[in-house]
């Protein structure tokens, strides 16, 4: 989120990549970028879309290895939280996220 060059004081919300969260900031009223939202809810809805959590957040983890395994996050339906796992790199696995924030934002009401 960027304040912009103008001096208005408009409350906005923007996604902060470093923390993976939507943060409150004061917008100057012109310039800046498109990373500004009228509410935290709007920011979360855009940056953490819940397009079809039933498909995206379900299913067992893949136990196959297709490429070099990497640590990723998946939604554990029984526990209701995101957990780390070794992803074997096989394409087509839906329940696999690069960060805990992305997993929780997609699969929970967090």
Q: What is the pLDDT of residue 53?
A: 55
Q: Whole-structure pTM over 0.85, yes or no? A: no
Distance from C-alpha of 63 to C-alpha of 80, rounded to nearest angstrom: 21
Q: Could you list the mean pLDDT of each consecutive 10-residue stretch along the chain, which spans 110 residues?
A: 83 84 90 89 73 66 73 86 84 81 79
Distance from C-alpha of 27 to C-alpha of 10, rounded to nearest angstrom: 5
In the DSSP assignment, the letter for residue 60 is: P
In the DSSP assignment, the letter for residue 37 is: B
Distance from C-alpha of 80 to C-alpha of 47, rounded to nearest angstrom: 21
For 10-47, CATH gives 4.10.410.10
Q: Which residues in the chain are classed under CATH 4.10.410.10?
A: 10-47, 53-107
Fold classification of 53-107 is Factor Xa Inhibitor (4.10.410)
Of 74, 110, 109, which is closest to residue 94 (Cα–Cα)?
74
Q: What is the pLDDT of residue 92?
A: 65
């Amino acid at each position: 989120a960027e304040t912009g060059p103008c001096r208005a004081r408009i409350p906005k919300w923007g996604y902060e990549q470093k923390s993976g969260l939507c943060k409150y900031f004061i917008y100057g009223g012109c310039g800046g970028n498109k990373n500004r939202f009228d509410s935290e809810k709007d920011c979360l809805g855009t940056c953490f879309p819940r397009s079809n959590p039933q498909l995206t957040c379900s299913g067992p983890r893949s136990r196959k290895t297709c490429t070099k395994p990497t640590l990723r996050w998946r939604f554990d339906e029984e526990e209701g939280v995101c957990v780390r796992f070794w992803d074997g790199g096989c394409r087509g696995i839906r329940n696999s996220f690069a960060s805990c924030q992305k997993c929780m934002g997609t699969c929970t009401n967090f």
